[in-house]
Amino acid sequence: MESILGWIAENQQMIYIVILMIFVGIEVIGHVPSVLHTPLMSGANAIHGVVIIGAIIVMGKADPHNYVALVLGFLAVVVGTLNVVGGFVVTDRMLEMFKGKGKKQNTSSK
């Protein structure tokens, strides 16, 4: 218990960010029309690809002789990049369909 309280005190800055970001996240997409649900999901999917930064740090810090860390870290970088690149490209292609089209058609979500 004590160590958890200590950890909260130590990371209070981060915890403030978490709480504020929850409100920002809810506020920002509050008025999205239902045609954009799927592209927004896809865009959010690309944004959480930011986890790749963690993968890069893990990979960069790995001891060159520790093959477990090297292989796992390498896999993390590959799948993280897949998430980021694939996510943004797919979102872009989805939104391409909206160009010059009316709002009503093409919900694209099933």
Residues 12-51 binding other proteins (CB under 8 A) are: 14, 17-18, 21-26, 28-51
| CB 2 to other proteins: min, Å | 9
Residue 36 near residue 105, CB atoms below 8 Å: no
| CB 15 to other proteins: min, Å | 9
64-83 residues near other proteins, rule: CB under 8 A:
64, 66, 68-70, 72-83
